Amino acid sequence: MKSILLITMLCFIFVADEIKAQVPLISHIFAADPSAHVWSNDENTLWIYASHDESGTNHHATMFDYHVFSTKDMVNYIDHGRILSIDDVDWAISHAWAIDAAYWKGKYYLIFCMRIRKNSEKFKIGIAVSNRPEGPFSNVGIVAGIDEGMDPSLFIDDEHPYLIWAHDRHCYIAELNDDLLSIKNETLTDITAGLVQLQEGPWLHKYNSKYYLSYPGLRDNEWPEVMYYSISDSPFGPYKSMGQYIPYFDGQSGSNHGSIVEFKNKWYAFYHSAHLSGDNEYTRNLMVSELEYNLDGTIKTIKPGAGETNKQSPIKCVIKIEAENGKSAGGKLDGIFVDTVQVEYSGSGYVTGFDQSEDFVEVLVQLANDAEYLLKIAYTAEKDTKIAVLNNKFMLNGGYGDWKDIILPKTDMIKILDISKIQLNSGDNKIRVMSKNGDLNIDYFLFIPINSVK
């Protein structure tokens, strides 16, 4: 089964010991705080877990959910949609801020922070779990042993899980117990010393047996943030400050937040900016630059070149929403169910059981700005099947009085069919598909930017 992907080019401009950045990585949605990973059981895919900025917002309190993106070649990207939201977390009320992820004992975990219901000023760190890297993730609970924390990250080293987090301009690390739901209290360590200008967002990676702790900090205690790093022989420190690796750049937001990862023998620094919106803080976009080390292990300075990036088209991304994810991904299943009998489906299954005319599957698509897309559906059907497609308030292929049936031709093997051009709006879009004359199996939905269709 072939996935429909978008081909775009990543351009890196090298100047002496400085590495200039490419265009914004993801352009169809406002996202920030990228946590990039290559899982040990699939070294051919890079995953980016990110927070989500609402369009038109003027405060971080409107951050309600998280997304995940994947690529196999740093050229073609997929947005897998919403993977966790405040609605899925019974103890939280607002502020779905930075996240991280880990592959641990055969499952995928999200570590996240949100403000709690009992005290809207306090952040707690939570854990969610999934059987698949693209989610969706189910809330497990609050990590015990931490009174308050922001911007958590997970670091697995020699089969030991560590949690790193920030609070009140201090940085802490502790080893987690096997279930990841509590810290080992005796390992709790304040590692702030050696992290100059620390503000938030710690990220730990390992290179040549050294531990690199990178984080956003304030220059002389003044905003905006820039990216710093420190090095140690142990995850518990002590750390030696090495200065900035991403200084201030034109087009950045008031905040920054990043991750560093190796993928196919190259190192990359992920971070965010405000190139797309021009806003200095509340509607941000993901960025990536290739990262290089000097012979002494220090990181070469990255200087994103806003002047160069503005001359190029933003990188585009295919949106792929698994039909079976339902409410957990912001959609809904009504009168139907999830099954796995059909072979070669993607994700964790497909939806079936459309035996009543009002049965439907609904998926959520989130965008930064209004845009036109081509909707494709992956499905099987025992006979030619009529469907109706509702885009928020409007039927595709006509108005309420004269809408036309859409026919899915009979197919025994999963087929990806062009359905229609579809106008999607800034913010949340609910796409609903209803069968009109019989059962069918729907595997997933693809949304392809019109300007990428040839």
Q: Give the C-alpha separation, 117 to 138, whole Å.
A: 19
Pick from 386, 395, 379: nearest CA to 444: 379
Residues 184 and 299 in one domain: yes
Same domain, 75 and 211: yes
- Domain for residue 286, yes or no? yes
Is 8 within the bounds of a domain? no
> How many Cα neighbours within 13 Å face the side chain of 367?
20
CATH of the domain at 67: 2.115.10.20
In sequence order, what are the residues at sequence separation of 6 or more whose Cβ sits closer than 8 angstroms to the Cβ of residue 118? none
Q: How far apart (Å, rounded) are the C-alpha atoms in residues 115 and 124?
A: 6
Residue 316 lies in a domain: no
Same domain flag for 374 and 304:
no
At position 170, the amino acid (one-letter code) is H
Domain-terminating residue out of 281, 309, 337: 309
Q: Are residues 259 and 303 in the same domain?
A: yes
Domain co-membership, 271 together with 347: no
Out of 257, 275, 309, a domain closes at 309
| List of the chain residues with pLDDT < 50 | 1-21, 306-313, 398-401, 454
CATH number at residue 378: 2.60.120.260
My answer on whether 212 and 94 are in the same domain is yes
Q: What pLDDT shows up at residue 402? A: 54
Question: Would residue 388 count as lying in a domain?
Answer: yes
DSSP 55: T
118 Ramachandran zone, left/alpha/beta (phi>0; psi -120 to 50): alpha
User: Both 300 and 384 in a single domain?
Assistant: no
Q: Of 309, 339, 374, which residue constitutes the final position of a domain?
A: 309
pLDDT tens for residues 393-409?
676 764 444 556 789 99
Secondary structure E strands in 61-202: 65-71, 77-85, 92-94, 99-104, 107-116, 119-130, 138-142, 150-157, 160-167, 170-175, 189-190
Q: How many domains does the chain have?
A: 2
Residue 118, classified by CB atoms within 10 Å of its CB into exposed (0-12), middle (13-18) or buried (19+), is exposed
Place of tokens 């096997």: 178
User: Which two tokens mark 137?
Assistant: 């993730």
Q: 149, 155 in Cβ contact below 8 A? A: no
The HSE-up count of residue 62 (CA atoms within 13 Å, CB side) is 13
- Measure the CA–CA gap between 231 and 139, rounded to whole angstroms: 33
My answer on whether 328 and 204 are in the same domain is no
CB atoms inside a 10 Å sphere around CB 142 = 18
**DSSP sequence for 262-328:** EETTEEEEEEEE-TTT--SSSS-EEEEEEE-B-TTSPBPPB---HHHHTTSPPPP-EEEEEGGGGGG
CB 224 within 8 Å of CB 254: yes
* pLDDT, tens only, 102-128: 999 999 999 999 999 876 789 999 999
In a domain, 86, yes or no: yes
Q: Write out the residue range of the structural domain in which residue 266 sits.
A: 16-309
5 domain-assigned = no
**CA 36 to each of CA 110, 204, 326, 426, 451: distance values in angstroms, whole numbers, following the listed order:** 12, 12, 25, 26, 27
In a domain, 43, yes or no: yes
How far is residue 128 from each of residues 102, 131, 136, 143, 167, measured CA to CA in Å?
10, 11, 9, 10, 21
Answer yes or no: do 255 and 221 share one domain: yes
Is 329 found in the same domain as 280? no
Are residues 358 and 326 located together in one domain of the fold? yes
| Residue 7 is assigned to a structural domain of this protein | no
According to DSSP, the residues that pair with 207 across neighbouring strands are 210
CA distance 398 to 425: 18
Angstrom distance (rounded) from CA 36 to CA 427: 24
In this structure, the answer to whether residues 390 and 412 fall within a common structural domain is: yes
